Structure 1
């Protein structure tokens, strides 16, 4: 039994959709999907249904692309959109950030007595910007190098006043749950679409994109909540980092130009626990 992970499937791409059709079944394994399945709600739901049939259990967290909404689409926006996606995932038996945190039932790594899988939806608050860039000019600063995230147009924060308010509300809710639901003697696998730490971001092609990549308020969560591993996506820079005893996994697939289609998606499933 294995715990596998991937993110940023971006199934708006035809090549990515075709590759998904060739994914073999893993009937004993669990799969983490760390956000950015697609922009259309129906495609997200259809993909989760396919994956739920390929794996023993699927754990999904929303990314920014799932939250994008376009005028006259007839789809909900903002927090209502997120809640609608959660409802559709739950109907398929997929675990979401709004469900009880599952306990990993497979083999445990050395020194780990109990492992809690923690899917989270935390967003960002622009605090990953450089320290010398004020918040009120961060979009203008990013625009100088054409690095402004499309979220500024397509990701509505409704029913919150701003994306920052939504992010901080999610942080508060999640922190309360972690304190209440994770035993002191347990380790965690923290899952979020956006990175938890600014110092692990390396995106030289879009260096001013960092404000849309997370929040400084999570930088010590891997310590506070005893993380065995942290699984994130968003950056399209597959990598593994170690900080102390915690493994940080960026598990993006990405757009067709960012991965080798001939290898198939299965080669990009990251092994978290074996």
Structure 2
């Protein structure tokens, strides 16, 4: 399993998925703190691109730093630069999901000459969590006729930091919740470090837009964060394009893989 030392010497893990002939695509997972393996092959995207999936610090198979402040999304942008240097690549195409989009945008703002194109999948915002609570409530209420809804809706009034409560909310993340979707979740993929989330969001984003071309992908049924964060992100960057996938939630590469592949490969 490949590791490399980051800016502070911490060993970070990455793996390579696929044998596509196109330029490699660096992939940053969400969470924060998710093991990059939950991304799979991104709906078959590995057929055209080699996916370099990076486990963030204190997550997945990467090391846990003694200095917790280095886990912030702003400092993890330095990990992306360390990966670029390790790979010996002049410029990167980057795809990031959810919380990982904060790290990706930070990197692209600070290292403008190093980013060729940027794909932001169900981003949570530009500099933090730009969620429209009214919009999100409306998306969730639209599922009221579904059999799982009462159990999931009751969890909204409980402690969402509790893993059991969060598990009850999972159906809201999908356009269609089916028993098969349960196989998307592996307890070992989520971080068990209670301090990681707060440490990740403690960073302050560098002001300014991403100047590289940006594709922003949102799921119309995303009952985890809604669509508003994607609109905020698309508006923040001058060369951006927003695509809303109508039959997807928070993981569109799973629910509409063919459309997802077409959007991303066409953009890249």
- TM-score, normalised relative to structure 2: 0.34
- TM-score, normalised relative to structure 1: 0.34
